[in-house]
Structure 1
């Protein structure tokens, strides 16, 4: 408990210092036609997430060094992206290296080659998914806390990862929430925050699946995955935009823009949906693999259906508003 309190105090101080420095050096996010905010806001506040992981590293005998190295490599590049806006051709190779270091940390057998490539693709997809979904106040903090809660309670029984890694990250999310869980946020996570969280969740999830031989971890990020995958499919089929370009087609953005639901209510809604999925995971991840797979695909089908229903309602709402 004393260690947690020390970490919390350091993170509070770090967030305050960063807020002042970001003001001084003009590290800001300026709203545009694709933004969900209306005023200039500090970006990169998610820098406290890798700081929390660094504190874990130093306070736990330098555990998981390759994971930490990969995370700080991609965090550095992501922070530069927050300041200068780097090309995806610059960011992508570093993402591949960072995910490879995670696989190496987990003593992952590099061969067979096709399986290694599949894991690299999945890792890059996860970290970018968290980046894509970081678009409204509160959603990154609330959703990530819910994901961590599922990992924490499973880890209490299985001990597949050092609990401090989960707890310290959760503390950083609480501190971040003080600045971000507001009608007018004081700062945003930025790429450094969202991608660092994606790295962490992929690492813990990989340990989960490798230790327990269970696919259920993927459901710990089901709500984000469903929104991201189906939005990408919609853009490929119905729009002429590049899937790498910024946009406002995510379901959470539509709920804010079309139904005028507040950022915080939408964020809480996403968190509650994932919390319900977490409960199902906790009750099923030890069952026979056939039952797990049945639950796995049933939940995926359920949320695909929910997305389609909501999307159709949104289309009708837009037609009514434009009539």
Structure 2
């Protein structure tokens, strides 16, 4: 039996969605072995029951510890027994789409035989989809990793274990082989990776830090948006921890630590808290939500919108366990220039106000 996850490509035809490890990047299967089952290697048993899944992919999943029998991980040569309960997590379903290799510069922070960690610029879509068939990160990776077998298959999600929004900048890790893919994918599926984002939000947060808990699901009012619902049957459990880093008058710079990674999670959680991201057109942050009515202030905010013409969100850091060395790796990236300039403008504005009030 397979857990069904929504197709993220349906969310928006022109914009890559916020990362969601249960929206198209992972498949979770559960099986119960019949009472009359004879002894058979689990890789062969699963290959016989899973359509369009090669024995090599199943063996890579086993090597990564992604196949559990009665709650314990097993290797490919495990012999299935009657009434065994089997679960398996596989990275992304395969999809058919011609990938055009493109020589697009990449900001690579680290690379070895198993993984590549890079800093994505705002404006780049992660993988091809409706309305974005070229110019994506996967097009660039297909060119830069053309000698790597995993990227010679023409798969639109080759190596992807997570995503960030088109207009979100920051760190991504990409797997370079099936084993690394399965190993890192399991960490995202189990929420054991460490991810920190920086965001500029409207309003002055009441608390210095806190936790937002609320199921995230597609909005019933607007199919291009997600919404927060009470804990229950609707949507997927989502948890965001936040901390205020800097108070800048009518906006705050915050840090968000993701416990889960749902579609648009930070953006919709902050809107739910009445503090949408600065210049987030999808969730209302592209309006002047806080401040005075003076025309000089309105001009200042509009200038800020021009400086950072996207939602002010940056994937600041990422930590995960390396698939081969089993060492924990940690990467960090500075705020991009548009967000740095945006913050400097607000700091100058706050300082000038304080001088006027003296």
TM-score interval for Structure 1 and Structure 2 normalised by the shorter chain: under 0.3
**Structure with greater strand percent:** 2
TM-score, normalization by structure 2: 0.22
TM-score, normalization by structure 1: 0.23
**Structure with greater helix percent:** 1
Q: Which has the larger radius of gyration?
A: 2
